């Protein structure tokens, strides 16, 4: 629960000004006059900011592992490595989104505020209200008794929720924790599987970066 909030905020703080600041100061125009193209700038900025966030995550996980060893608790190296990888994937998602928003504006303030708004939609589960609103409209403002399957799948597309679903796949004993979600009885549908959660996280990395690059490729700097 801590990581699902701290890691995204860290990624936003580290990445939201990535391109907007260079654009506002004219540095970006100078860079494009050098032997760099716009793909180099997008890819280089994303990788550079992600390395910063990933390093902070690595330090945190190292402290957790060291603490576990000191107090004599079970370390579980394989599961710790998987946990680290899933957390890095979440960091990659939010870093990518922050860089994408930074590509679309000259204002550092707007880039930061936009990143925080997007993060709030995911972090406070506002994303999950979309199916409820759609069903209310479809049913004449009458709340459905049960959420249709498409709505449940849509809720699972929230990257923060995908992160927690992947964690539950790694640590099934966490399934009953109220902040991670409800317990899903077998047979578990595909959209509650860890593989689906990992695919969602990967999609949130790739799709926004591709769309942002295509817009940035022809944008006036």
Give the mean pLDDT per block of 10 residues along the chain (221 residues).
81 92 87 86 95 93 84 77 91 96 91 94 89 87 82 94 88 63 68 92 96 89 72
- Cα–Cα distance between 123 and 5 in angstroms, integer? 7
Torsion region of 171: left, alpha or beta (phi above 0 gives left; psi -120 to 50 gives alpha): beta
State residue 178's pLDDT score: 47
Helix-helix angle 77-103:159-170, to 10 degrees: 170
State residue 189's pLDDT score: 85
CA angle 215, 45, 106 (to 5 degrees): 55
Q: What is the DSSP letter of 186?
A: S
Q: How many CA atoms lie within 13 A of 5 on its CB side?
A: 6
- Cα–Cα distance between 128 and 122 in angstroms, integer? 8
- Summarize the chain as % helix, strand, coil (round to 5): 75, 0, 25
């Amino acid at each position: 629960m801590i990581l699902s909030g701290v890691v995204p905020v860290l990624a936003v703080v580290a990445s939201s000004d990535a391109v907007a600041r260079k654009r506002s100061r004219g540095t970006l125009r100078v860079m494009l006059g050098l032997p760099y193209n716009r793909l180099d700038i997008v890819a280089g900025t994303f990788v550079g900011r992600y390395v910063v966030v990933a390093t902070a995550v690595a330090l945190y996980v190292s402290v957790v592992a060291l603490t576990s060893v000191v107090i004599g608790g079970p370390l579980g190296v394989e599961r710790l490595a998987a946990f680290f990888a899933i957390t890095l994937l979440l960091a990659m998602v939010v870093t990518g989104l922050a860089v994408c928003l930074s590509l679309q504006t000259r204002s550092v303030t707007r880039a930061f505020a936009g990143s925080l708004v997007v993060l709030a939609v995911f972090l406070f589960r506002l994303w999950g209200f979309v199916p409820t609103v759609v069903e209310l409209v479809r049913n004449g403002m009458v709340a459905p008794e049960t959420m249709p399957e498409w709505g449940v799948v849509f809720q699972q597309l929230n990257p923060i929720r995908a992160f927690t679903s992947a964690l539950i796949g790694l640590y099934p004993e966490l399934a009953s924790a109220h902040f991670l979600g409800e317990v899903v009885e077998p047979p578990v549908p595909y959209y509650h599987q860890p593989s689906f959660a990992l695919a969602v996280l990967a999609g949130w990395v790739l799709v926004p970066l591709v769309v942002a690059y295509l817009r940035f490729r022809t944008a006036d700097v």
